[in-house]
Amino acid sequence: MNFEPHTIPTALICLIFGLFLLFKSADWLVKGAASLAQSFGISQLIVGLTVVAMGTSAPEVAASITSSLKGAGDVAIGNVFGSNIANLALIGGVCALIRPLTIKESTLKREMPIMVAVTLVLYPLLMDLRLSFLDGVILVVLFSLFMYYNIVIAIRQSQAKSLKEENSRDNPSIKESKRKFWQDILLVLVGIVAMALAAKLTIDGGVFLGRSFGLSEAVIGMTVIAIGTSLPELVTCVVAAIKGHDEISIGNLVGSNIFNALLVTAVAGISKPFSFEKKLAGSYFGATLGVTILFVILVWHKRELGRLKGLLLLAYYAIYIFVLFSRVSPI
């Protein structure tokens, strides 16, 4: 069944319904993920870095593969950079305004440096203005190492909880937790599937409207598609922030950026190697690296992302959007 809009009214309907479904699916995903973390004794950060980040990054994967197969390399890479900038500057800023987020010291020492390193790794691979099959394989290997790292931590945390519960197997609360396991799994799966559908509806509507207003494919990739594919992260982080699940919010932002840089870029290159414009490996990469470093510096201070810092991130995003739509030649 084809839901792609062909008129401005149908595009608006896709946008409105897609946004509504995004909020509902985000609520299901956050509720299920938080409950699963508690059931397994795994930190919400690890769940945010893996399950939630993978679920909310699904639209980026689909969009980049589609763009790659169509030969639209600029859109594929633009989607990765644009999404990562939107994640940290727009979504991070919005979440901080809703409620200041607290970051654990372990996150600052482990996951944050990984996010910066992963961003830096992209540069030497993109310097030749082409994403090859080998580049994709290298990124897949790095992604696999990242997942292995998280799985090891999750196993250790789960084993620690099991030891504590060894003498409490008849505890009614534990039995209830086991009964809720499949309900939580269902909530997470339904949330991810519904979120993917909602993101597609929103992106299709936004792309049609963007083309109707005469936007170029590169700008559509860096803005409409990038923001559209980042909506799952936005809504999920907002819902998590409102519910007080700071670790899910931070884990989702950091995890999604790592997923985008490694997995999304990799699958695009492996699907069909492609070339792209010089500015994407120049000023646009610089903007991505810049917001990544800025985000780490801001959260490192007092281990929190407060409202003033959120405003700084939003200002960065506003400047980024202004430059994109201005007639100034990229560096």
Average pLDDT score over residue span 246-275: 88
Residue 22 has pLDDT above 90, yes or no: no
Q: Which of 108-122, 173-187, 235-249 has the lowest mean pLDDT?
A: 173-187
Residue 329 has pLDDT above 50, yes or no: no
Instruction: Specify the amino acid at residue 302.
Output: K
Residue 6 has pLDDT above 80, yes or no: no
CA 16 to chain centre: 21
Do the bridges between strand 304-305 and strand 101-102 make them parallel or antiparallel, or are there none, so unpaired?
A: antiparallel
- What is the number of H-type helices and E-type strands within the chain? 16, 4
Where is pLDDT greater, at 313 or 24? 313
Average pLDDT score over residue span 285-302: 93
**Tokens 């801001």 identify what position?**
298
- How do residues 50-76 score in pLDDT, each as one tens digit? 888 877 777 777 777 777 777 777 778
Residue 249 has pLDDT above 80, yes or no: yes
- How far is it, in rounded angstroms, from Cα 321 to Cα 310? 17
Closest CA to 242 of 108, 103, 96: 96
Q: Which SS3 state, helix, strand or coil, does residue 130 take? A: strand
Residue 316 has pLDDT above 50, yes or no: yes
Q: What percent of the chain has pLDDT over 90?
A: 24
Q: What percent of the chain has pLDDT over 70?
A: 88
Residue 331's pLDDT is what? 43
Residue 171's pLDDT is what? 52
Q: Which residues contact 72 (CB under 8 A, 6 or more apart)?
A: 217, 221, 274
Q: Which of 26-35, 39-48, 169-178, 180-189 has the lowest mean pLDDT?
A: 169-178
Q: Locate 69 and state its tokens.
A: 């197969």
Q: Which of 35-49, 66-80, 157-171, 239-253 has the lowest mean pLDDT?
A: 157-171
Where is pLDDT greater, at 197 or 296? 296
Count of beta carbons in the 10 Å neighbourhood of residue 7: 10
Q: Mean pLDDT of all residues in the chain?
A: 82
Where is pLDDT greater, at 314 or 199? 314
Residue 167's pLDDT is what? 53
Q: Which of 181-190, 196-205, 292-301, 310-319 has the lowest mean pLDDT?
A: 196-205
Q: Locate 250 and state its tokens.
A: 């931070």
pLDDT-based confidence at residue 1 (cuts at 50, 70, 90): very low
Where is pLDDT greater, at 180 or 248? 248
Question: How does DSSP assign 21-73, residue by residue?
Answer: HHHHHHHHHHHHHHHHHHHHT--HHHHIIIIIHHHHHHHHHHHHHHHHHTT-H
Angle at CA of residue 295, ends 292 and 296, nearest 5°: 90
Where is pLDDT greater, at 269 or 182? 269
Q: Which of 71-75, 167-171, 314-318 has the lowest mean pLDDT?
A: 167-171
Instruction: Specify the amino acid at residue 198.
Output: A
Question: How does DSSP assign 11-34, residue by residue?
Answer: HHHHHHHHHHHHHHHHHHHHHHHH
- How far is it, in rounded angstroms, from Cα 202 to Cα 231? 9
- How do residues 179-228 score in pLDDT, each as one tens digit? 577 788 888 888 888 877 877 787 777 777 777 777 766 667 667 776 77
Where is pLDDT greater, at 175 or 251? 251
Q: Partners of 96 in the beta sheet?
A: none
Q: Locate 35 and state its tokens.
A: 């409950």
The domains located in the chain, with CATH, are 46-157+213-325 (1.20.1420.30)
- How far is it, in rounded angstroms, from Cα 115 to Cα 253? 10
